[in-house]
């Protein structure tokens, strides 16, 4: 396959358009509100009463279990994918697992709480697992000089596509009679979960139609599981000899703890700490507004950071982004009103899209000349998911130990500061491979 084929690049980027509906509707916007409605009645926590565990904690632990499962299993599968040359099959498997799980949440009620949480976890596994194989295509479809632009294009399409579906879902929830939907038993919200599954699997067909299994399968081994472990061990040893790649991954792990904690727990923080002008907690409508604002600005931020990387280099652009993240944390520690919160949400969107897109493309540039992209990207993505687990755990522990949710902002800010300091230690000398010549 020739690199730089615009049709293949568009098809690859469309998977961001397809799967980002999960991260917005299920992770950030509608499912958390629906889950609270199911598990809390008349101010009483039904999960706490039935199982002695707060409902919010149960939701958090379910997500953590999903991320840990992905971190444990997918590295092995990515090694097998590189060994057999069939990573598109794994991409399809995780895509359909996630989409089917989202659609299955249509049946989520209090009566089948545990089945619903299992589907919630499997949706997380499908989303996270598919991204490993999706990301691994980047160095195969684009030249190193285009990695930043192509990566940002995927993120931008993802933000735009997810907002389009969310607006449709909000119309179903807020004006169900316009569409002839009975407003009972949470039906409009449950239909939105079904729509995410259909949207995800449906738009993914554009990607599957164009993306090939680009690698020639290697010689068959008697035990493919053992072969997968051998691949990962070889990749790990190779990474140890690449100081730029190794140090970048360490920095990425730290600052990604902060990014993912903000993404998953900003709504929880705002629900308790941000007040309307009359002193009441921020409304669900206000939270949805802030989420939409973040998504729309993030698409612009992803493209803005492409320009910064061209002007200053990838590492310098990431350090600029982390400096902005740190300033956001300082500002967040003191704000309370909704107006300031919306301004802060726009700032979050600006750097969230840019730092995520640039992190993915920087890693792709730092890779050595290799055909085993899925195995290399498994390390990147495992670090991504473990950082999510560690960041959310730190958030909960700081809140538990200090009794003040605002102190969690200090912990999050420290992740960005430490990540920026470690990026400064990434060697400037060039490593193996022409792709690395693009990184400064």
pLDDT surpassing 60 at residue 242:
yes
Could you tell me the two tokens for 146? 């285009």
Q: HSE on the CB side for 154, CA within 13 Å?
A: 27
User: What's the full length of the chain, in residues?
Assistant: 440
Q: How many CB atoms lie within 10 A of CB 183?
A: 13
Q: How far, in Å, CA of 334 to CA of 347, rounded?
A: 15
Q: What is the share, in percent, of the chain residues with pLDDT greater than 70?
A: 88
pLDDT digits (tens, 9 = 90+) for 417-435: 999 999 999 886 544 333 4
Q: How far, in Å, CA of 39 to CA of 371, rounded?
A: 48
Tell me how far apart the terminal alpha carbons of the chain are, to the nearest angstrom.
Answer: 29
Picking from 79, 23, 18, the residue whose alpha carbon sits closest to that of residue 356 is: 23
Q: Lowest-confidence range among 61-70, 139-148, 431-440? A: 431-440
Q: What is the arithmetic mean of pLDDT over 349-370?
A: 84
Q: How far, in Å, CA of 169 to CA of 30, rounded?
A: 9
Q: How far, in Å, CA of 247 to CA of 426, rounded?
A: 6
pLDDT surpassing 80 at residue 272:
no
DSSP 44: E
What integer pLDDT is reported at residue 278 of this predicted model? Answer: 78
Cα–Cα distance list, 242 to 229, 246, 248, 336 (Å): 20, 6, 10, 45
- Residues 6 or more apart whose Cβ sits within 8 Å of residue 111: none
What integer pLDDT is reported at residue 374 of this predicted model? Answer: 62
CB 147 within 8 A of CB 9: no
| Strand, coil or helix: 216 | coil
197: pLDDT confidence band, cut at 50, 70 and 90? Answer: very high
Q: Does pTM top 0.85 for this prediction? A: no
Name the CA radius of gyration of the chain, rounded: 21
Q: Which residue is it, tokens 């008697």?
A: 222
Domains of the chain: 6-212+223-438 (1.20.1250.20)
Q: Which residue is it, tokens 């320009």?
A: 307
Q: What is the arithmetic mean of pLDDT over 157-179?
A: 88
What integer pLDDT is reported at residue 68 of this predicted model? Answer: 84
Residues pairing with 41 in the sheet: 44
Element (H, E) at 222: none
CB 242 within 8 A of CB 432: yes
pLDDT surpassing 70 at residue 310:
yes
Element (H, E) at 41: strand 40-41
Q: Which residue is it, tokens 């939907």?
A: 181
What integer pLDDT is reported at residue 436 of this predicted model? Answer: 40
């Amino acid at each position: 396959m020739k690199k730089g084929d615009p049709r293949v690049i568009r098809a690859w980027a469309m998977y961001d358009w397809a799967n980002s509906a999960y991260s917005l509707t299920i992770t950030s916007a509608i499912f958390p509100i629906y889950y609270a409605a199911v598990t809390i009645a008349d101010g009483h926590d039904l999960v706490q009463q039935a199982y002695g565990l707060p409902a919010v904690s149960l939701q958090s632990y379910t997500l953590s279990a999903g991320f840990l499962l992905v971190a444990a299993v997918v590295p092995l599968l990515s090694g097998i994918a590189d060994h057999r040359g069939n990573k598109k099959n794994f991409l399809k498997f995780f895509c359909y697992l996630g989409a089917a799980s989202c659609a299955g949440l249509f049946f989520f009620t209090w009566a089948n709480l545990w089945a619903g949480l299992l589907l919630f976890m499997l949706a997380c596994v499908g989303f996270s697992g598919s991204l490993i194989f999706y990301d691994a295509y980047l160095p195969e479809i684009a030249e190193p000089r285009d990695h930043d632009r192509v990566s940002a294009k995927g993120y931008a399409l993802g933000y735009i596509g997810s907002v389009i579906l969310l607006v449709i879902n909000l119309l179903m929830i807020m004006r169900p009679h316009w569409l002839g939907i009975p407003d009972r038993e949470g039906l409009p919200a449950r239909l939105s979960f079904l729509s995410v599954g259909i949207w995800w699997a449906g738009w993914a067909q554009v990607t599957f139609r164009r993306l090939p299994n680009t690698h020639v399968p290697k010689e068959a081994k008697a035990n493919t599981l053992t072969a997968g472990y051998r691949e990962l061990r070889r990749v790990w040893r190779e990474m140890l000899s690449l100081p730029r790649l190794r140090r970048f991954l360490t920095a990425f792990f730290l600052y990604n703890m902060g990014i993912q904690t903000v993404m998953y727990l900003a709504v929880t923080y705002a629900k308790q700490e941000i007040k309307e002008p009359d002193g009441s907690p921020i409304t669900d409508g206000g939270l949805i507004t802030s989420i939409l604002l973040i998504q729309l600005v993030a698409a612009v931020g992803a493209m803005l950071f492409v320009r910064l990387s061209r002007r200053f280099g990838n590492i310098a652009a990431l350090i600029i982004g982390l400096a902005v993240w740190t300033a956001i944390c300082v500002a967040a520690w003191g704000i309370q009103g909704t107006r300031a919160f919306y301004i802060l949400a726009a700032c979050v969107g600006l750097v969230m899209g840019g730092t995520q897109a640039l992190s993915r493309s920087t890693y792709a540039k730092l890779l050595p000349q290799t055909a085993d992209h899925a195995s290399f990207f498994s390390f990147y993505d495992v670090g991504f998911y473990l950082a999510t687990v560690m960041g959310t755990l730190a958030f909960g522990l700081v809140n538990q130990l200090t009794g003040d949710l605002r102190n969690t902002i200090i912990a999050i800010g420290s992740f960005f500061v430490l990540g920026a300091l470690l990026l400064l230690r990434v060697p400037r000398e060039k490593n193996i491979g022409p792709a690395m010549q693009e990184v400064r």
